[in-house]
Amino acid sequence: MKKVSIKILGMHCASCALTIEKNIKKEKGIKKVSVNYANAKAYIEYDENRIKEKALEKVIINSGDYKIAQDFKEEDLVKKAYLKFIWSLILTLPLFLSMFYTYHFDIQYLGIDLETWIAHDLAFLIVFIIGWQFHKGMLNQLKRMKSNMDTLISLGAIAAYLYSVYAMFNNQPVYYETAGTIITLILLGKYLEEKSKGKASLAIKKLLSLGVKKARVLINNKLEEKDISLIKEGDIILIKAGEEIPLDGEIIEGETALDESLLTGESIPVEKKKGDLVYGATLNNQGVIKVKVTKIGQDTALAQIIKLVENAQASKAPIQKLADKVSSIFVPSVILISLLTFLIWFFLFNISLEISLINAVAVLVIACPCALGLATPTAIMVGSGQGAAHGILIKDSQSLEIAHKVNSIVFDKTGTLTEGQPSITDIKIVSNDLTTTELMTVAYSLENSSEHSLASAFIKYGQEYNLQLKEVKKVEALRGRGIKGIIDNKEVYLGNTKLRKELKVELNSLYEVTFKQYAREGKTPIYFIKDNKILGVIAVADTLRKNSQKLIAKLPHNIETYILTGDHQKTAQAIAQKLKIKNVIAEVLPEQKVKEIKKLQKEGKIVAFVGDGLNDAPALSQADLGIAVGSGTDIALEAGNIVLTDSNPLKILSALHLSQKTFQTIKENLFFAFFYNTIAIPLAALGLLNPMIAALAMSFSSVSVVVNSLKIKNIKL
């Protein structure tokens, strides 16, 4: 299956998007299709053996007056909409002013005053020349027995114009200013809509504009500037201070601090040294580094972020199905209401042709299918863009709808709430003859030469405190008990109770109490044994992440929290106690985590699972909402509905907050769109609204939906 996104020019409302979507679905080989009116794109997944991309483009073009955009700038659409509005406004002003001041030229043609002919000509230019796009759209839809927003505008403007022509030759009041003003105000709305939609998709544009175009490549010890597209995996590139990293890679020489806010949303520079990974479009703050390229093109971190954001914007939230259903019957229903309005006023109430027609026109021009079409996608565009800017990647819009319903959050412990790496947490020494530095220097030297499971904790400690390594001989791992070696011609041991008993070492009561205390706290206690004596107890534990406690404290009280881990019950309970999490499910294998999630779901809970996205993939998929916590390297995770590119636990809170606010905005937009049309159409039918006021209201209804969506940008994350 192949996935493509096709940019479409000429969509005027949600009905256009639905028509194109339905036509594409009819074709053979289509697996999935979503046409997004807000960002004017069709997202299609299809079997390229059964249908080609060119054929898909042809289907789109044949669905109406639509074009496939190749290379075009969104600014061009805004500029075009602006110029149309300005020219229409210039021609409309004399018509509008004629409502308050009457011009007299004392010249007649065919028995009609010159000023009336001028009004006619101006209206003709506005309605049929500047406003031709609406009539063209209506005719294209009519050929296919369809209708859209163009149909409503075209019928409304033409009705006002033709009635004025009739009135002009029958010495009755004309409504050329109404016909002209309708088109002008609709064009104003279109211009503001294009401008607002541009702001809504600003985040994705910024992402697309990131990244350098050229890089310095080291070839035969000489630097050569190359275009990014020509660089291959394995090439060595040089990056100076203040420059952007061109592509993903590994540092092979030099040290620096990188601004990775693009990936993580965190502005604090990250220290990098030889062997560390770096990512394209991040900023090298200091130092010159040489980087071996590991990923290019669509495999880079930036490309993956853009892909995830675009996928989110392409997907449709379940709530949008309601809007789609309404949109599909909206325009025909409005035309029918307009016709009934005319018939009832003219035949039932015996009101004049003039008033009956004006009321019918008001119904046509006040109805706004655009507001319905923009309600969901604009909120998703802004929300997903805002999330990407803060290291929160929303993979599908369905998750936005689920997030606000979540009442249970299950946390994987290791790597999510904790650092995921063992660290030295406590060192207890009784004798005054031995310092902490001396003891840890020996322990560090011994572990540095071993493959002991906890060696990394000692190595990290030794490097952090700049301890000097001693010479170690005959290092031996004692399976299930610890490790031994010879340092300064003396045997040294690091191990557990089994090892102490095996060596028949006498146990000091203080060390015994300390050992048991560390174990109760969920730590791994280790005896330091030398000269057949216990000289100290060292505790190793997976420490809590910096903001884990703050995260749990800030979660809403109605959300139940759980720890789900393969770790020992004692360790899990100790972590849970620190975090004030009541529910602990410990000693479970990765595949058993799914069963535990299902168990909670059977109890009627809406479950969010938070894990590292690797061994937790099944649980992330099973949960109602999967939140994958990772780092810049993990952004291509398939599991999880939301991917956090930073391991800061508070990002989980931000993700939930953003999802809830985005969904709330969608509901507000849909409520406004439905409420507006439900109130406005009957008011127009009752003759309480002038067509010009109706056109103004219609223009600003869609703009107000987009502006409401833009409020998401102000959410503090």
Give the 3-state DSSP-derived string for 513-573, with helices as H, strands as E and coil as C: HHHHHHHHCCCEEEEEEECCEEEEEEEEEEEECCCHHHHHHHCCCCCEEEEECCCCHHHHH
- Residue 319 and residue 670 in contact, taking contact as beta carbons nearer than 8 Å: yes
Token pair listed for 458: 């000692």
Distances (CA, A) of 321 to 60, 159, 374, 670, 704: 21, 33, 13, 11, 21
- Residue 97 and residue 122 in contact, taking contact as beta carbons nearer than 8 Å: no
Q: Catalytic one among 65, 235, 412, 612?
A: 412
List the Cα angle 531/532/535 in 5-degree steps.
75
65 is catalytic: no
Strands 408-412, 560-564: parallel, antiparallel or unpaired by DSSP?
A: parallel
**Distance (Å, whole) CA 715 – CA 605:** 28
Distances (CA, A) of 513 to 198, 494, 509, 538, 607: 66, 18, 6, 13, 41
**Distance (Å, whole) CA 154 – CA 131:** 8
| CB atoms closer than 10 angstroms to residue 659 | 27
**Distance (Å, whole) CA 518 – CA 325:** 62
From its phi and psi, is residue 99 left (phi > 0), alpha (psi between -120 and 50) or beta?
alpha
- Provide the H-helix boundaries in 367-423: 369-389, 398-403
- Sorted by sequence, the CB contacts under 8 Å of residue 116 that are 6+ apart come out as 168, 174
Strands 248-253, 256-259: parallel, antiparallel or unpaired by DSSP?
A: unpaired
Question: Cα-Cα-Cα-Cα dihedral of 575, 577, 578, 583, to 10°?
Answer: 70
**Distance (Å, whole) CA 153 – CA 549:** 57
- Provide the H-helix boundaries in 176-295: 176-200, 202-209, 261-264
**Distance (Å, whole) CA 196 – CA 202:** 10
- Residue 630 and residue 651 in contact, taking contact as beta carbons nearer than 8 Å: no
Catalytic residues: 412
